[in-house]
Amino acid sequence: MSQLNIQSLSQLPKQIRKPTYDVENTGRGIVHLGPGAFHRAHQAVYTDLAMSASGGNWKIDAVSLRSQDLRDKLATQDNLYSLVILDENPYIQAIAAFNNIFVLGDQREQVMSSMCDALTHIISLTITEKGYCLDSAGELDWSNSDIQKDKNSPDKPVSAIGLLVAVLKERKNSGADQLTIISCDNLSDNGTKLGKAVVTFANVIEPELGQWIASNICFPNTMVDSITPATSEELKQQTEKELGVEDAWPIQREAFTQWVIEDNFSGPRPDWEKVGVTFTQDVYLYEKAKLRVLNGTHSTLAYVGRLCDLETVYQAISEPSFEAFIRKLLVTEILPSIGATQEMDLAQYADDILQRYHNKHIRHFLSQIAWDGSQKLPFRILNTIRDNIQNKQSISLLCIPIAAWSLFILKQHSQGQQLVDPLAPELLELADKYSTEPLAFVDEILNLKSVFAELSNNSNFRSQVKQHVTTLANINKQNFAQILDDL
């Protein structure tokens, strides 16, 4: 079977949505670090739509920091791919936003050339929480091994922070300052934290570079949202049937998508507002609500659901006891932490998110959401706990995902399953030592300052987590309704 490529675009079935700009004669204006499924389903789609809506040389050079998969898989199809919208009214959109796909490890020169080019006005990132190399206070973590490597060898950076500083050093010398750097990850104050980490690192490399960056380059905060499960073999087969050509790596996503960007740019940008992107002076409420209401309940479903051997978000939320528990968590502890606001109907926002979880067309695996708990839980649950402690509000239900995370680690260890987490070696070593003593294990977990910071010393927090470890220690597919109903 022939492959999806620029030539085949015009022959695709008429119901397939496709770019309407001149794909072959449009230039690159963006470099993206970390082109995973979410970037391909979200920012790249907005950019492809913006070019169809009002032109502009905004194609993307995608830079994988490590994996060769994307480059190798899309190389034979002109770097095109298809986005499959799985919803009541499904459709497929052919995406042509990628210009080049590079791998930093063996194409460093091309990557630097692309990122330093004055025509590159945007560098965006989806490198997951761990990619920012931050400590629990949100500052650059100088003990991070990649940061250490880049400090010792700044001209051959391996971290995103080091790479950005190397690029900005070149751009300072060449005067290519029409550049905005946009974080698209699920961190609170993502742009502010990225900018601070970059300036901090630059100051060590070349003092006046840090000052130049701080004065010339904007790092807007953003909120990003669209549920994007990993690609499956089934999706590939289904897509091939619909397209009539093979796509080596289609992407699937729900219909809902949202991108909120702080209107703070140090150079030109695509007309993203023409395709639904929200520009605002203050992203904070959007970001706080999304991280806590969506990502906080996602992680809760992931860890409690996996303890009950449930597979997907849809499967878990379809259990009345799970939905009732999530609603109780939202109403009693998460929504109050966001505070009263005229700008957003928080109850409706939460309801809409639970409806999205009930999308039966989306198989979003809890095991995927469970990745990187040590990096995700601080933004999704622990900051909410801090606010509730500060405001003398309940934290009991919020302590459940923390208890469930620790039991999940023990379960992964006991079943010899992989634990996807930057702290996996340390967590599994503790799990090995305390495999039959969950309370002793969680005591050790709660001592991890890199995750819990000052909460490690909060006796009320610790005791509530440990109570829930006892409650959840024997939860399973048969008894979870009773246990959750009693919470």
By CB under 6 A, tell whether 288 contacts ligand CS2. no
Beta 91-95 vs 98-103: how paired, if at all? Answer: unpaired
Q: Which is nearer to ligand CS2, 225 or 242 (CB)?
A: 225
Cα–Cα distance, 349 to 324 (Å, whole number): 17
By CB under 6 A, tell whether 124 contacts ligand CS2. no
Cα–Cα distance, 487 to 477 (Å, whole number): 17
Paired tokens of 344 = 């957003």
Residue 422 near residue 374, CB atoms below 8 Å: yes
Minimum CB–partner distance for residue 183 and ligand CS2 (Å): 14
Cα–Cα distance, 358 to 371 (Å, whole number): 22
Amino acid, single-letter form, for residue 16? I
Contact pick of 141, 225, 247, 287 for ligand CS2 (by CB under 6 A):
225
By CB under 6 A, tell whether 254 contacts ligand CS2. no
Q: Which is nearer to ligand CS2, 26 or 295 (CB)?
A: 295
By CB under 6 A, tell whether 190 contacts ligand CS2. no
By CB under 6 A, tell whether 313 contacts ligand CS2. no
Q: Which is nearer to ligand CS2, 213 or 227 (CB)?
A: 227
Minimum CB–partner distance for residue 208 and ligand CS2 (Å): 38
Site for ligand CS2 in 234-253 (CB under 6 A): none
By CB under 6 A, tell whether 186 contacts ligand CS2. yes
Contact pick of 95, 111, 227, 301 for ligand CS2 (by CB under 6 A):
227
Minimum CB–partner distance for residue 282 and ligand CS2 (Å): 20
Q: Which is nearer to ligand CS2, 23 or 400 (CB)?
A: 400
By CB under 6 A, tell whether 295 contacts ligand CS2. yes
Residue 439: exposure state from Cβ atoms within 10 A (0-12, 13-18, ≥19): middle
- Of the listed pieces 23-31, 143-151, 200-208, 368-376, which binds ligand CS2 according to CB under 6 A? 368-376
Cα–Cα distance, 217 to 170 (Å, whole number): 13
> Hey, how many other C-beta atoms are within 10 angstroms of the C-beta on 484?
23
Rounded to 10 degrees, the C-alpha dihedral 258/368/427/291 comes to 20
Contact pick of 367, 368, 393, 450 for ligand CS2 (by CB under 6 A):
368
Residue 17: exposure state from Cβ atoms within 10 A (0-12, 13-18, ≥19): middle
Residue 248 near residue 73, CB atoms below 8 Å: yes
Beta 222-225 vs 81-85: how paired, if at all? Answer: unpaired
- Kindly determine how many residues on this chain lie close enough to bind ligand CS2 according to the rule CB under 6 A: 10
Contact pick of 369, 397, 427, 483 for ligand CS2 (by CB under 6 A):
369
Which residues lie near ligand CS2 (CB under 6 A)? 186, 225-227, 294-295, 298, 368-369, 376
